[in-house]
Chains A and B, each alone.
Chain A
Amino acid sequence: GQSLEQPSEVTAVEGAIVQINCTYQTSGFYGLSWYQQHDGGAPTFLSYNGLDGLEETGRFSSFLSRSDSYGYLLLQELQMKDSASYFCAVSRQAGTALIFGKGTTLSVSS
């Protein structure tokens, strides 16, 4: 089976930096992805890590350690519009199903 653990809620203020952790247990591992979902909307892709290390995309970065079965999403210079749910997701092999964690609700206040 597969399981992913991430915090259910995180709060922060505008301009701050926040890190959302994700630990996973899978029988095989191909890569870790991150998705954002605003209330009532469709999830949208943020980042992907197939190899160990940091991937940076603007204000967002994602990190993976395959040996620790651990990754995180780092959001910098937080804005109110970053208030949303964030999901980590893993796939065991290329081209197979993507399994999601339960999501982390980020609330950004002024």
Chain B
Amino acid sequence: NAGVTQTPKFQVLKTGQSMTLQCAQDMNHEYMSWYRQDPGMGLRLIHYSVGAGITDQGEVPNGYNVSRSTTEDFPLRLLSAAPSQTSVYFCASRERTGELFFGEGSRLTVL
């Protein structure tokens, strides 16, 4: 099993560009989520999903969109990137309860 796979690992964008961070898990987990991590701010929840077709906002959802068309995939879309979105992004999944499994992270720089 690959676990949680995120792509790309590194990305540089210009202000105003759009992009999608991909996240896939092969553990048949119901729950998937996206976090951003900035120095001194811990892990802040952006969006999460409790199953295919169901998404909800987290603590810092502005500027990000998500969808969950399959159990396996949970992409995060930046429609118009801003320098404030420079961060490390982590995707994570778990069964309904229990341990949260994280991907290796996607490091995004917006110039």
Contact = CB atoms under 8 A, between A and B. Distances in A.
Given A45-B99, A48-B98, A48-B99, A100 B31 contact: no
Interface string B52-63: 000010110000
A95 B42 contact: no
Nearest to B3: A42
Interface residues of B, number: 27
Interface of A: 8, 30-31, 33, 35, 41-45, 48, 87, 89, 91, 94-103
Task: List the 10 closest pairs (A to B, CB-CB), nearest first.
Answer: A102-B42, A42-B102, A100-B43, A45-B99, A95-B96, A103-B42, A97-B48, A94-B97, A100-B42, A43-B102
Interface of B: 30-31, 33, 35, 40-45, 48, 50, 56, 58-59, 90, 92, 96-105
